[in-house]
Amino acid sequence: MYAYDEIDRTLVNERVSEFRDQVKRRLSGELTEDEFKILRLQNGVYLQLHAYMFRVAIPYGTLASNQLRALAHVARKYDRGYGHFTTRQNIQFNWIKLAELPDALADLAEVGIHAMQTSGNNMRNVTSDQWTGVAPGEIEDPRIWSELIRQHTTLHPEFSFLPRKFKIAITASDHDRAAIKIHDIGLKLIKNEKGETGFEVLVGGGLGRTPFIGKTIKHFVHGRDILSYIEAILRVYNQYGRRDNIYKARIKILVHELGIEKFSREVEDEWQHIRNSSLQIDDEVIEDIRSRFTYPAYEKLPHMPDELRQAAADPGFEAWRKNSVAPHKVQGYSIVTVSLKPIGAPPGDATAEQMDALADLADKYSFGEIRVGHEQNLALPHVAKRDLPALWKALNRLGLATPNVNLITDIIACPGLDYCSLANARSIPIAQELTRRFSNHELANLIGRLHINISGCINACGHHHVGHIGILGVEKNGEEVYQITIGGRADESAALGNLIGPGVKFDEVADVIEDVVEAYLALRERPEELFIDTVKRLGVEPFKERVYATR
């Protein structure tokens, strides 16, 4: 975990007092809503259907137990007792009162949490792989770089009024859990032939109305140059990004309109001016940041402790272990994914009680650390294997041990029309119904890895384009209609899904998805061939034929 020092704390407190002043001026009428809107957005405050919504950043998905307790406290004291974890390592509260927001922010500031730039046309929360620092085979812990970039992009004087929002994601593993290819800038940490740390830089990915997979703009940018390179990209974007049309304002459109070659030349020209400036990061600075990350004091533990051997007789435990427990880089430890997708519940929601209890479990079993993934699940990153049976029992009691990670009921969904003022159709009830249809764990296991992503409008917060099965809700003649795509993926082989046929009504979505899954089970070559691979091998047509033949 990164520990704030006095400098970081001062900045967050200064931001809170600035926002307190802004809210005061707004409530007195000194600021109009038109003037205030951008100020509240810069602090993560949206207006949704029912109330203000408050989005809090969880930088690169790392939380300390006391921070999770503070989030629970906000849910309880200022909201309705629960929060919603998003696809970008944020948490949202749905019913917050504007007049109380400064107090909520002040409470969060005490544990080093803020809501800066979780909305608005600026640089958003820097996201990363939720397994950073613990995943076997990771090249290097990218959190040091994530933190450097977080600091550099916080209250940036030049880039706080960009043409549109701007998102950066970082990974240091071959398997991309951070979805870097659908970000404005994606960074893949690599080593060059000299063994020096740097990044492959991708640019122009994004979903929404016009989805693009990011393109590599530079194969290797040395770590010491990464801030100047990002700054060069942002400066080009700030000056040339379109401001005449909100739907064409993201950097992906600029990259697309200029072409990646011309865009990269512009960036290169700019970068040559600034790369040898004070933006260059020397080793001492990196070491300083690194020194403020605390690493657990792991014990020397056996690979297969007795506790684990004994618990293997319990089928409930075994089902969970096989599904939700992943290898850790340190022998005797595991990474445990905590499913926030219980059958029949809204994806990604957690109650204050669950958050508090999980914070306690993190203290007991995971060196006080919790992670948040873009799949809207949580993780305990350092669990000793001997503790797995006890942890499972505790999670089970909390409703946090559904063994469905990466399975068909591990659905990513945006809040949709139940909460969101932009939505055209509901997302959560679709997810709820699907989890009920596939609630049988054996069936879900038989189907295997399958990601369903649901968005309630074209803005694609549920990342439907990159779901193995994507569901997009639209409105047609006052009714909710859902378009279904297959073949998308968000990982290192990121791809956009293809439509399988005409849109279907709210009540028909689950039936159609069942048919898609049946088609897959019939079409797959062997049980190990994943849904996504069958679609890749056969294309959309055979699915379309089977699903729409009787419709």
Partner 1 sequence: MTSPLEQKKIKIAGPSVVTANRTWDGIVVYRTAANGWSAELSEAAIVRNSDEAKALLAESVADDVGAIGPYIAPVRIGEDGKVQPGNLREQIRRTGVTIGSPVQV
Partner 2 sequence: MPLVNGGKIADDSFVKLAVDTPLPEGGDILVPAERFLGDADALLKRGGKVGVIWPNNRDIAELVPYLGRIAAVALVFPTFRDGRAYSQARLLRERYDYRGELRATGQVLRDQFVFMLRAGFDCFEVKKQADAEAFMQTAKRYSVFYQPTGDGRITALHRRMQLRHSEGVGT
Angle at 422 between CA 418 and CA 424, to 5 degrees: 65
Q: For residue 369, what are its two tokens? A: 């650390």
Choose one: 4-12, 44-52, 268-276, 377-385; the region binding partner 1 (CB under 8 A): 44-52
Of 185, 235, 190, 234, nearest to 205 by C-alpha is: 185
Q: Looking at residues 404 to 433 of the shown chain, list those that interact with partner 1 (rule: CB under 8 A).
A: 417-419, 421-422, 424-426, 428-429, 432
Applying CB under 8 A, the site for partner 1 has a residue count of 43
Is residue 476 within 8 A of residue 446, CB to CB? The reply is no
Q: For residue 364, what are its two tokens? A: 């007991």
Residues 6+ apart with CB under 8 A from 157: none
Q: Which is nearer to partner 1, 99 or 304 (CB)?
A: 99
CA distance 84 to 77: 16
Among 6, 33, 284, 306, binds partner 1 (CB under 8 A): 33
Q: Does 223 bind partner 1 (CB under 8 A)?
A: no
At its nearest, how many Å lie between partner 1 and the CB of residue 30?
A: 10
List the alpha helices (DSSP H) in 325-365: 352-365
The burial of 286, by beta-carbon neighbours within 10 Å (0-12 exposed, 13-18 middle, 19 or more buried), is given as middle
Among 4, 39, 216, 546, binds partner 2 (CB under 8 A): 39
Q: Rounded to 5 degrees, what are φ and ψ at 336?
A: -110, 120
Query: In this structure, which amino acid lies at residue 472?
Result: L
At its nearest, how many Å lie between partner 2 and the CB of residue 186?
A: 22
At its nearest, how many Å lie between partner 2 and the CB of residue 90?
A: 20
**Radius of gyration, alpha carbons of the chain:** 23
Q: Does 121 bind partner 2 (CB under 8 A)?
A: yes
Q: Which is nearer to partner 1, 76 or 256 (CB)?
A: 76
Among 202, 217, 398, 401, binds partner 1 (CB under 8 A): 398
At its nearest, how many Å lie between partner 2 and the CB of residue 291?
A: 9
Residues 6+ apart with CB under 8 A from 133: 141, 143, 295, 381
DSSP letters of 259-277?
Answer: -HHHHHHHHHHHHHHHTTS
Q: For residue 374, what are its two tokens? A: 């873009």
Q: Does 119 bind partner 2 (CB under 8 A)?
A: no
Residues 6+ apart with CB under 8 A from 40: 22, 26, 46, 98
Q: Does 47 bind partner 1 (CB under 8 A)?
A: yes
CB count, 10 Å around CB of 330?
Answer: 16
Q: Which is nearer to partner 1, 97 or 551 (CB)?
A: 97
The CA-to-CA distance between both ends of the chain, in Å, stands at 53
Applying CB under 8 A, the site for partner 2 has a residue count of 36
Among 192, 210, 272, 277, binds partner 2 (CB under 8 A): 277
Q: Does 246 bind partner 2 (CB under 8 A)?
A: no
The SS3 assignment for 81 reads coil
Q: Does 508 bind partner 1 (CB under 8 A)?
A: no
Q: Does 7 bind partner 2 (CB under 8 A)?
A: yes
Q: Which is nearer to partner 2, 7 or 549 (CB)?
A: 7
Residues 6+ apart with CB under 8 A from 14: none
Rounded to 10 deg, the angle between the 251-258 and 226-240 helix axes is: 80
Binding at 349: pick from partner 1, partner 2, none (beta carbon under 5-8 Å per type): partner 1
Q: Does 111 bind partner 1 (CB under 8 A)?
A: no
Residue indicated by tokens 């659908």: 182
Is residue 273 within 8 A of residue 359, CB to CB? The reply is no
Rounded to 10 deg, the angle between the 531-538 and 509-523 helix axes is: 80
Binding at 162: pick from partner 1, partner 2, none (beta carbon under 5-8 Å per type): partner 2
Name residue 452's beta-bridge partners: 469
Q: Does 551 bind partner 1 (CB under 8 A)?
A: no
Binding at 215: pick from partner 1, partner 2, none (beta carbon under 5-8 Å per type): none
Using DSSP bridges, classify how beta strands 452-455 and 82-85 pair: parallel, antiparallel or unpaired.
unpaired
Q: Does 98 bind partner 2 (CB under 8 A)?
A: no
DSSP letters of 486-509?
Answer: ES-B-STT-B--EE-SS-EEGGGH
Choose one: 280-288, 365-373, 424-432, 501-509; the region binding partner 2 (CB under 8 A): 280-288
Binding at 403: pick from partner 2, partner 1, none (beta carbon under 5-8 Å per type): none
The SS3 assignment for 73 reads helix
Choose one: 50-58, 198-206, 294-302, 318-326; the region binding partner 1 (CB under 8 A): 50-58
Binding at 22: pick from partner 2, partner 1, none (beta carbon under 5-8 Å per type): partner 2
At its nearest, how many Å lie between partner 2 and the CB of residue 159?
A: 7
Q: Looking at residues 476 to 505 of the shown chain, list those that interact with partner 1 (rule: CB under 8 A).
A: 478, 480
Binding at 478: pick from partner 2, partner 1, none (beta carbon under 5-8 Å per type): partner 1
Among 41, 64, 96, 510, binds partner 1 (CB under 8 A): 96
Q: Does 18 bind partner 2 (CB under 8 A)?
A: yes
At its nearest, how many Å lie between partner 2 and the CB of residue 112?
A: 14
Choose one: 34-42, 52-60, 388-396, 498-506; the region binding partner 2 (CB under 8 A): 34-42
At its nearest, how many Å lie between partner 1 and the CB of residue 29?
A: 4
At its nearest, how many Å lie between partner 2 and the CB of residue 71?
A: 24
Q: For residue 412, what are its two tokens? A: 């990513």
Q: For residue 236, what are its two tokens? A: 């080009």
Q: List residues near partner 2 by CB under 8 A.
A: 5, 7-8, 10-11, 14, 17-18, 22, 30, 35, 38-39, 121, 151-152, 154-162, 235, 238-239, 243, 273, 277-279, 284-285, 288
